[in-house]
Every structure is written in C-alpha cells, then in structure tokens.
Amino acid sequence: MNKTSSGPVRTAILIVLGLIWLAPVYLLIVNASKAVDAYDPAAVWKPSGFSLFTNFQDAWDKAALGGTLLATTLYSVVAPVLAVLIGAAVGYAIVALRLKYGFVWFVFIFGGTIFPLQMVLMPLFSGYASSGLYDTRVGMIIVYTAISVPFSAFVMRNFFTGIARSVFEAAVVDGGGLFRIFRSIYLPMAGSALAAIFILQATFVWNDLLLGLTLSQSESVRPIMPALTGLQSTYGGAALPTVLAGGLLVSLPTVVLFLAAQRFFSRGLALGQF
C-alpha cells in the first residue's frame, strides 16, 4: 500500500485503541502483584509493592493449583498427541490407502465437531459414572482426545492430499509395510501440520472449563480452569490479589505458547478453528 496507509492519524488511533486493550492486562498484573494486606480497592490503578510470588504461592496452595497443574499438563500433552496420531492415521487411510467410502468416513468423523459440548455432557457424565471413568485422569484424557480427533482428522486429510501419490507408490515398491510407510514417511513429512494441530488442541484442553466441571471433582483430577473458578468463589474477601494472581498464573502457559507460535495460530484460524 502507499505511504498514507501508515499516516499519523491511523497510527495514533491504533495506539490509543491498543492501550485501552492493554489496560485490563495492566490492571491484572499490577493488582496481582499487591500484598493482600496492602490492597486498597479505591486505588486499583496505582501500582504498589511487589508480592506477586507470595500471591502465586497462596493461589497455588488455596486452589490446590499444584496438583491440578500436573494433571492439566498431562491432559494438554497426552490428549492432543493421541488426537494428532489418530487423526493422521485416518487421514493416511483415506488419502494414501484410498480407504473405500473414504469421504463417508471423513464426513462422519468431521461431523463430530458440529454439535456443541452441551449435547454430549449429560450422557458422558452418566456413562462415566457407571463405567468408573468419572473423576479419573484416564477418563479426562479419553474425552479430550475424542473432542480433538475430528479437527485433527480434518487437517491431516487435507495435508496428506497435498503429498504426491508417487511418494506412496515408490515406498510400496521399495517394500515398506503400510504401517512403516505411515510411521517413517508420512508422519515425518507432516511435522508442521502436526505441530499446528497440537498447539491448538493443547490450548483448547488447557482452557477447558465445561468438561472438567462435569466429569471431575477431586483436586488431583480436576483441570486448572474449574480449579480457578473454585478460588474465585472465595471472591470478596481479602483474597482479591490472590484470585488475580491465580488468573495470571493459569494464563501464562497459553500466552507464552501463543507468542512463540503466532504463525501456527494464524494458520489454525485460516483453517477455520476458532
């Protein structure tokens, strides 16, 4: 575009808007850093003192974030990895192995994204309660994997479609087994797509509230977002800086991941994941 597109008016508007956007983040950081005793509700804009790590510690203890952090990390890593592999396998079957009625399979699996979570919550709760999966880490991993599979299958099928047929034929002529071709040729080629899916799904799992709220209750199983809302319910007392410190703490991993992998996020958006 031409020079006027970086004009001072435009830049000024963007800077003012940007500052307004950052104001809540500023308030979060400043007030999460205040000592609980020194917190003054009439002066929230003014920074005072630095007790961020004490507040982190309090949030950690009171919301039992320690145990839940371990569990949530486990879910956010294991479930997306499983989903990526399962999605890649079906993508490979449809594209490379020319699975019969491949498009029907694809529509069936991708159709899993259409209905909102509300549609499956109650039966999952009942089913988990009667099968002993309720309030277990395995149960949480299974449900997060299931939710992530349709999107993963969608991306992997599209990605594998872009790989020349001759790659597969050459591998077969070389005498590779179908599983070996999948593992040592197709998966390594899909590195960037696998990473993009992984990052998006890990963020989804980390940020989930509804499934965690419904399918777990104990401190060692319950994911981090429901745990934080538990801390929030003590709202109103002196613990406000603690609550905010908790909110900051649970946001750090996804914000860091986001900043480190911005292009993956953009790509995921272009693919239609919201």
Partner 1 sequence: MSRSTLRSARTGGRVAPLFGLPAAGIVALLLYLPFLWTTYVSFTDFNGLGTPVWSGLTNYKAMFSDPDLVGALTNTLLWVVGMVTLPVVLGLVIAVLTYGHRWGTWLRLPFLLPYAISGVAVGVIWGFVLQPDGALGQVLGFLGLPGAHTGWLQAGPGNTLMMIVATSWQAAGVNALLFVIGLQSIPAEPLEAARLDGAEGFKLFLHQLWPQLRPITTVVVGLSIVGSLKTFDVVWVMTQGGPGTSSETLALSMYKETFVLNNYGQGAAIALFLSLVTFAASVLYLRYQLADGDSR
Restricting to residues 201-230, name those near partner 1 by CB under 8 A: 203, 206-207, 209-210, 213-214, 225, 228-229
Least separation in angstroms between CB 243 and partner 1? 6
Give, as ranges, the residues between 240 and 269 that touch partner 1 (CB under 8 A): 240, 243-244, 246-248, 250-251, 254-255, 257-259, 262, 265-266, 269
Least separation in angstroms between CB 67 and partner 1? 18
Question: Judged by CB, which is closer to partner 1: 57, or 105?
Answer: 105
By CB under 8 A, is residue 28 in contact with partner 1?
yes
Determine if residue 163 is left, alpha or beta; phi over 0 gives left, psi from -120 to 50 gives alpha, anything else beta. beta
By CB under 8 A, is residue 130 in contact with partner 1?
no
CA distance 238 to 255: 27
Burial 18-43 (b: 16+ CB within 10 A, else e): eeeeeeeeeeeebbbbbebeebeeee
CA distance 152 to 268: 11
Least separation in angstroms between CB 54 and partner 1? 19
User: Which two tokens mark 57?
Assistant: 């510690």
Give, as ranges, the residues between 158 and 177 that touch partner 1 (CB under 8 A): 169, 172-173
Question: Burial, 215: exposed, middle or buried (Cβ in 10 Å; 0-12, 13-18, 19+)?
Answer: buried
Question: Judged by CB, which is closer to partner 1: 191, or 263?
Answer: 263
Question: Judged by CB, which is closer to partner 1: 41, or 188?
Answer: 41
Give, as ranges, the residues between 56 and 95 that touch partner 1 (CB under 8 A): 86-87, 89-90, 92-94
CA distance 143 to 149: 10
By CB under 8 A, is residue 183 in contact with partner 1?
no
By CB under 8 A, is residue 238 in contact with partner 1?
no
By CB under 8 A, is residue 118 in contact with partner 1?
yes
Task: Answer for the pair 208, 159: CB distance below 8 angstroms, yes or no.
Answer: no
CA distance 160 to 142: 25
